[in-house]
Amino acid sequence: MRKVDLCLSSEGTEVILATSSDEKHPPENIIDGNPETFWTTTGMFPQEFIICFHKHVRIEKLVIQSYFVRTLRIEKSTSKEPVDFEQWIERDLVHTEGQLQNEEIMAHDGHATYLRFIITSAFDHFASVYSISAEGIAISNLS
Amino acid sequence: MVKLAAKCILAGDPAVGKTALAQIFRSDGTHFQKNYTLTTGVDLIVKMVPVPDTGDSVELFIFDSAGKELFSEMLDTLWESPNVLCLVYDVTNEQSFSNCSKWLEKARSQVPGTSLPGVLVGNKTDLAGRRAVDAAQAHEWALGQGLEFFETSVKDTKNYEAPFQCLARQFHQLYREKVEVFHALA
């Protein structure tokens, strides 16, 4: 099967929830495939967003580009609806002054229909996420 | 249009009027608490403050916590990750003003390496005959610490909104600056 970036709106992926919204920097910017656009948090932490693949996928590798994110927790669900999330990955990121954080995560047990990203703390009052890519394969459609 | 959310911590000696200030602000000037009650835990007051000329707003989550030394260990938890600071003293009480540097230090130590926008508020200006802290002197100290300065009389419902509006404006400005940084990095 073909490995693709599963986290692209052009692949049918959607952001179905985000706790922060500046209409100039909406959460859709995370999956638009454009590294120049970003989503910003607009206040107190934790802040989160949920990505829906609209299909069963198996993720092998995640790459997250961000700034000022300190602690990131990722939960996943394999349900048809965005429920029953289980803890999957937790990372403490390093602050990289003047350049984007580029976090690569090799994933184990990457079966998912939804991913939930929770920024539990940050290095500043605000944080931003530029892109998330999930390398993997689409397994089956939701029926 | 952006709706920001900011955790605002109220700091200062006991009985300077922190709770009274928060309550009068919450109630839009209708609720002045005449009897003093020592705050022992924490009160949370949530209020939306529009930022003039922008269409944006800041939702302030005001953490009104005890000023009494006895509860100071609890503050480390309650004051975790503040976004803005409202530092209050009593203009008739010299000691409450000189303790402001201690309160400021404690607040700033919660966010090492990050700026903490703040205001200094001299309350109880209605007690003019008992004034012990000169406004000019307090203003000068505030400027030196990077704080905006206000005097209020919660009792006379005077100027009680200005400090919070200023905090909202400062936080909004900080957001704009960070978004510029985010743009520049892309």
Per-residue pLDDT tens over the stretch B44-102: 999 999 999 999 999 999 999 887 766 677 788 889 999 999 999 999 999 999 999 99
Residue range B152-172: average pLDDT?
Answer: 97
Yes or no: say if B64 and B25 are a contact pair by the CB < 8 Å rule. Answer: no
Q: What percent of chain A has pLDDT over 70?
A: 99
Residue B138 has what pLDDT?
Answer: 98
Cβ count near A21 (within 10 Å):
17
Give residue A40's Cα distance to chain centre: 13
> Please, which pLDDT band fits residue A99 given cuts at 50, 70 and 90?
very high
Q: Which of A11-15, A45-49, A100-104, B30-34 has the lowest mean pLDDT?
A: B30-34
Domain B3-185 has CATH 3.40.50.300: yes
Residue range B10-23: average pLDDT?
Answer: 95
Contacts with B61 from chain A: Cβ below 8 Å? 44
Tokens 């919204």 label which residue?
A21
Name the average pLDDT for chain A: 95
Tell whether A130 is within 8 A of chain B (Cβ).
Answer: yes
Nearest CA in chain B to A122: B81
Residue B76 has what pLDDT?
Answer: 80
Nearest CA in chain A to B59: A43
Say if pTM beats, i.e. exceeds, 0.80. yes
Residue B43 has what pLDDT?
Answer: 87
Residue B70 has what pLDDT?
Answer: 63
- B182:A123 CB<8 A: no
- B4:A42 CB<8 A: yes
- A42:B181 CB<8 A: no
Q: Which of A6-15, A35-44, B22-31, B32-41 has the lowest mean pLDDT?
A: B32-41
Q: Which amino acid is at B108?
A: R
Q: Could you write out the DSSP letters of every residue in A60-72?
A: EEEEEEEESEEEE
Per-residue pLDDT tens over the stretch B91-130: 999 999 999 999 999 999 999 989 999 999 999 999 999 9
Q: Which of A119-123, A134-138, B65-69, B146-150 has the lowest mean pLDDT?
A: B65-69
* Strand, coil or helix: A33: coil
| Residues facing B5 on adjacent strands | B59
Q: What percent of chain A has pLDDT over 90?
A: 93
Domain ranges of chain B: 3-185
- A125:B179 CB<8 A: no
Residue A102 has pLDDT above 80, yes or no: yes
Pick the CATH number of A4-141 from 1.10.645.10, 3.90.1150.10, 2.60.120.260, 3.40.50.2300: 2.60.120.260
Could you say which of A42, A68, A125 has the minimum Cβ distance to residue B2?
A: A42
Nearest CA in chain A to B117: A125
Q: Which of B65-74, B144-153, B173-182 has the lowest mean pLDDT?
A: B65-74
d(CA A20, nearest CA chain B) in Å: 8
Domain ranges of chain A: 4-141
Report which DSSP code applies to B100: H
Could you say which of B83, B181, B186 has the minimum Cβ distance to residue A44?
A: B83
Residue A69 has what pLDDT?
Answer: 98
Q: Could you write out the DSSP letters of every residue in B110-163?
A: TSTTS---EEEEEE-TT-GGG--S-HHHHHHHHHHTT-EEEE-BTTTTBS-SHH
d(CA A55, nearest CA chain B) in Å: 30
Residue A95 has what pLDDT?
Answer: 96
Report how far residue A10's alpha carbon sits from residue B130's, in angstroms, rounded to the nearest whole number.
Answer: 70
